[in-house]
Amino acid sequence: TNEWRLSCVNKEFSVCPSYPPVVIVPKSIDDEALRKVALFRHGGRFPVLSYYHKKNGMAMMRSSQPLTGTNGRRCKEDEKLINATLCSGRRGFVIDTRPLTVAQQARAKGGGFEQEVHYPQWRRIHKYIERFHILQESFIKLVEACNDQSHNMDRWLSKLEASNWLTHIKELLTAACLAAQCIDREGASVLVHGSEGTDSTLQVTSLAQIILDPRCRTIHGFEALVVREWLQAGHPFQQRCAQSAYSNSKQKWEAPVFLLFLECVWQIHRQFPCSFEFNEQFLIMLFEHAYASQFGTFLGNNENERAKLKLPQKTMSLWSWVNRPEELSRFQNPLYEANSLVIWPSVAPQSLQLWEGVFLRWNRPSKFLEEAEEERINIIKYNKELQARVNMLRRQLAEMETGEEVQEE
């Protein structure tokens, strides 16, 4: 489609320090306008394209909160930018990952939300997603519950519920489904933002793409998604994945945002076990490397920092290792069958399970589950070999028969 263009306005990271050097914006918006919009958005994170839904031409954009402040500031270029994504006469949805009260309070500190009077074609939906220290505490409580060795079922269920971890999973999945529904079912464009646009925003946009786009469910597609929507988009990995659940020092900016996203992918994977090219181990591997890694991929908070640290020169990329055939074979899902569907997960509590592979990994033996996975792989592999054999035999027979016919003539 040629309604979009690549803009290098940020190539020195001067317009938005947390964005990558190249972003995708509507064709009709020039770089000058972008600079103005950047002044109107928190941290300079002006709306950029996150995902384009080929099926119906709808777009999903993401940004940070608009700096309307208490005076109700407006920015015509910002309005023009997001309106450019709308088809004539159609409406768009702004999905704000803060509750309405928080969004309103943000005005006192210079932030705010898109006001209907300036954005009449956009309908705003608030879909609250937890963040920061509450998420980190939730994480710590869950890990603590899993380590509880007392044989008390009520205590376990009580602690599990009190951690609220699965609640966050449900809420994020619901928000992603909402965004995906707006695009696929309502046929509308969507703008997603929270406050900074570096956490819940990215969770929603990347998860929505898992739902909408089968390519994101392939191994390379998922890697590209992580690179695009998390690394390049400026999720502050260094701050968020500093210490994990056992740290005693409560770091202010620490939160398992990326892990929550990975787990939601796993929950969808559980419900659609044939729709993902990668297996659970792949997701667990990414979780590990986000926190501690011999590769430089997840270091730093954004592309700007990575460039300054000269990471491409001084470190190796995780992807170069993962994508080697001998490594990749460990991460493949034997049940995968490519399909072009939009997949809608169920968010009923009964459909969501604790991610044992991460949270109970060291608390129970994995031998029997690994044997089961081996069986699955063997069953499918053997059938593929049989099929190949049958095909080959057929070909041989066909060749011999034609050979015979020629002889007889």
Partner 1 sequence: VENVKLLDRYASRKAASGTLYLTATHLIYVDASAEVRKETWILHHHISSVEKLPLTTAGYPLLIHCKNFHVAHFVIGQERDCHDVFTSLLKLSQPVKPEELYAFSYNPKMSKENREVGWKLIDLKLDYQRMGIPNDSWEITDINKDYEVCSTYPPEIVVPRAATKAVVMGSSRFRSRGRIPVLSYLHKENNAALCRCSQPLAGFSARCLEDEQMLQAIREANPGCPFMYVVDTRPKLNAMANRAAGKGYENEDNYENIRFKFIGIENIHVMRSSLQKLLEACEMKSPSMSDFLTGLENSGWLRHIKAVMDAGVFLAKAVREERASVLVHCSDGWDRTAQVCSLASLLLDPFYRTFKGFMVLIEKEWIAMGHKFSHRCGHLDGDPKEVSPVFTQFVECVWQLMQQFPCSFEFSERFLLEIHDHVYSCQFGNFLGTCHKEREELRIFEKTHSLWPFLLQRKQELRNPLYRGFTAYKELQPNTLPFSFQFWCGMYNRFDKGMHPKQCVLDQLLSCMSQKVTLEDKASELENKLPILDGPLPSKGCTSPKAGAAAAKAPPPPQDCAEGAASVLSNGPSLGSQKHKESPAQPRDLGASREDGQAQHQ
CA-to-CA distance for 215 and 47, rounded, in angstroms? 23
Told to check if 401 binds partner 1 by CB under 8 A, we report yes
Told to check if 89 binds partner 1 by CB under 8 A, we report no
Secondary structure, 3-state, 166-221: HHHHHHHHHHHHHHHHHHHCCCCEEEEECCCCCCHHHHHHHHHHHHHCHHHHCHHH
Reading the block at residue 290, the tokens are: 């986000």
CA-to-CA distance for 60 and 119, rounded, in angstroms? 17
Of the candidate spans 19-27, 64-72, 167-175, 187-195, the one that interacts with partner 1 by CB under 8 A turns out to be 167-175
Binding mask 341-380 for partner 1 (x = CB under 8 A): x-x--x-xxxxxxx-x---x--xxx--xx-xx--xx--xx
CB of 36 to partner 1, least distance (A): 42
Of the candidate spans 74-82, 206-214, 292-300, 396-404, the one that interacts with partner 1 by CB under 8 A turns out to be 396-404
Please say which residue, 22 or 380, places its beta carbon nearer to partner 1.
380
Q: Mind giving me the DSSP string for 88-119?
A: TT--EEEEESS-HHHHHHGGGGT-----TTT-
Binding mask 43-82 for partner 1 (x = CB under 8 A): ----------------------------------------
In terms of residues, how long is the chain? 409
CB of 293 closer than 8 Å to CB of 320: no
Binding mask 303-342 for partner 1 (x = CB under 8 A): --------------------------------x-x-x-x-
Site for partner 1, rule CB under 8 A: 145-146, 149, 151-158, 160-161, 164, 166-167, 169-170, 270-275, 335, 337, 339, 341, 343, 346, 348-354, 356, 360, 363-365, 368-369, 371-372, 375-376, 379-380, 382-394, 396-398, 400-401, 404
